[in-house]
Amino acid sequence: MYIDVRAHRPRGLTPRRDVGLYAYERVVERCGLGPVAGVDEAGRGACAGPLVVAAVILAPERRRRIEGLADSKLLTAARRERLYDEITTTAMAWHALIVPREEIDRVGLHRCNIAGMRRALAALSVEPGYVLTDGFRVPGICAPGLPVPKGDRVAACVAAASIVAKVTRDRIMMELHERYPMYGFGVHKGYVTRAHAAALEEHGPCPEHRLSFVNVARVVAAEAGPEIDASDAGEIDWEASHYEDTADQADVA
C-alpha cells in the first residue's frame, strides 16, 4: 500500500522555500527546540592559512532581523564587515574557533572541520536546543541537528555563521599578507589561484602553507629532490585544485 508521506506532515512544521532565510529557525522554535544555532566554516579549500569555524545563535526574529543577511561568498568584503559587526553585536551568542595549519596537517582537514564545529558549539555562552549545519551531518554535537544543503543560502543562522567565519579568517589572512607579501594572501586569502601557484613555485611554501595539500606537497618534494616522493611531505588527502576559487568573486560587486 502506498502512503503519501507529505500528507502526514504536520501543518506549519515544514519550511517553505519562499518565506526567506528565517524559515528554518521559525519552524524549529515553533516545535519548542530553540534556540537554534547555525555553524559553518571558512578556509576549507584553501592551501594556506587556518580553518575558521563559527557558530551563531541569532536573537529571535521578532526582536531584531538582520537585513541583507546572505551567504558570505555572495557579499562584498565591505558588506561582510558591516554584517559581521551587526551579527556580533546583536546575536544571542556567537563563537569563532581558529584551527591552525599545524593541526590541519597533523589531524586531517575533515576531522578538524568536524571537531571544530563541535568545539565552536560547545563554546557558545547559550546552549542551543537545535543545530543547523551547512551541508553535512556533524556527529557528537550537544543538541539534535539537521544538515541543510546550501545552508548558508537558506538558513539565517548558518548564513550568519558563514559571515563570522569568513570575516575572521580574512582578517587573519591580511595579517599573514604583511608577514609573507610575496604570496598575495591579501588578494586570494590562501586559495589556489594562478598567481598563488606561481608564487608557491617561485618561493616555496611558507610556514602557513598546508603540507597536506597535494599542490604544496609537490613543491616540497621538488625542492627536496627526485629521491623524495610527494606522499612523504604530509597527509596527502586533499587536492587543492579541485576547489573552486571564490576569493575575488564577491569582492568586485
Task: Give the pLDDT confidence of 34-80 residue by residue, as tens digits.
Answer: 899 999 999 999 999 999 999 999 988 655 678 888 778 888 999 99
- Name the helix (H) or strand (E) containing 145: strand 145-148
Give the span between the Cα atoms of 144 and 162, in whole angstroms: 20
**Alpha-carbon distance 29 to 57, whole Å?**
12
Which position has the grid cell 524559515?
23
Cell triple for residue 93?
551568542
The pLDDT score that the predictor gives to residue 25 is 86
Alpha carbons 132 and 44: distance in angstroms, whole number: 18
pLDDT at 207: 96
- pTM score, whole prediction: 0.82
Question: What is the structure's pLDDT at 19?
Answer: 59
Q: Which stretches of the chain score pLDDT less than 50?
A: 1-13, 18, 228, 230-253
The answer to whether residues 136 and 152 touch, using CB atoms and an 8 Å cutoff, is no
Check: CB of residue 37 under 8 Å from CB of residue 132: yes
